Amino acid sequence: MARDLTVGQFLPGHAIMHRLDPRTKILLTFFFIIQVFLAKSTVSLCFLIILLFLFIFFARLSAGKVFRAVRPMIPVIVFTALINIFYVPGDSVLHFAFLHITKQGLFTGFTLFVRLTVLIVGCSLITYTTSLNALAAGLEQLLSPLAHLRVPVSELSMTLTITLRFLPSLSDEFEQIVDAQKSRGAFFDQGSPIRRIKSYFPVLIPLFMSAFRRAFELANAIECRCYHGGKGRTKMNTLHFAGRDIAAFLVFTALFFLTIIFNFI
């Protein structure tokens, strides 16, 4: 259980992928997503797969583990791919009652499977190599121009940072309360759906109580430190683009065009 990676878990390290600026990684992840949707031919899809392995290598992660973490999502991917197999019109290969399987359908289904897998694995890399706090800081800086449009970016980022800070505490507390109620003989995941939902009351009620208590305490603590809105707040660790970030952008641009060129081979 705890032995496998979970998507979204941060694994501290010092590989290149870890040291890139979070802003770079966020932007490049978007780049990569667009790239995945632009790749149409077999060659460019193969190219993407090779790229993915290179990224995993540069993050110093084990490819097996990274792919295994996606396993829970495979049913969804396969389902999406299957639907396409049956719905794309074209030259019939097999047909069975009202179901037609076409050549084009098989191709679309297969490429969709590859694309979704590559997409999920690619996006999971940023979470393995970037702490949530770094991600939040990067996002805040990227969104800061929106402040001119009266979007409360610094308040949003404060909220996001606080949420990220308290998620692990809440999840620890959740486990602790589950253990405590199990120790009194509670059982979960048994019986009818209504019974199951009811069986979580003894956990959810204390959890909400404690979340509210924390929220009040935190609000008091923040007020005691004279916080009034995030305007003009400075950071202890400011983000700086380094040479490697510029290099990464250049490499990605080149790869982007390569993918498009491979579409025509």
Partner 1 sequence: MAIIELKHVHYAYGVGTSFEKQALNNISFSVDPGDFLAIVGHTGSGKSTLIRHLNGLLRPDSGQVFIHGKDLWSQMKDRRSVRFQIGLVFQYPETQLFEDTVGKDIAFGPKNMGLNEQEVKQRVQEALAFVGLDASYLERNPFRLSGGEMRRVAIAGVLAMRPSVLVLDEPTAGLDFDGRALILQQLEQFRIKSGAAIILVTHNMDDIAEHAQRVIVLHEGRMVLSGTTASVFSEADILKQCGLDVPQITRVLIKLKERGLPVRTDAITLEAAEREILKLFREGG
The region of 50-58, 156-164, 172-180, 240-248 touching partner 1 under the rule CB under 8 A is 172-180
Among 2, 97, 99, 265, binds partner 1 (CB under 8 A): 2
As a whole number of angstroms, the distance between CA 131 and CA 126 comes to: 9
DSSP reduced 3-state for 60: coil
Would you say 18 or 23 has its CB closer to partner 1?
18
Task: Name the token pair of 55.
Answer: 């990224």
CA distance 235 to 151: 20
Write out the E strands in the chain: 92-96, 99-102
From the list 112, 169, 126, the residue with the least C-alpha distance to 7 is 126
In the range 185-224, which residues lie near partner 1 by CB under 8 A? 185-187, 201-203, 205-206, 209-210
Residues 94-113 binding partner 1 (CB under 8 A) are none
Q: Select from 61, 181, 245, 259 the one that contacts partner 1 (CB under 8 A).
A: 181
Taking CB under 8 A as the binding criterion, the range among 11-19, 26-34, 39-47, 235-243 that sits at the site for partner 1 is 11-19
Do residues 81 and 112 lie in contact, with contact meaning Cβ atoms separated by under 8 Å?
Answer: yes
What is the contact surface with partner 1 in residues (CB under 8 A)?
Answer: 2-5, 9, 11-13, 173, 176-177, 179-187, 201-203, 205-206, 209-210
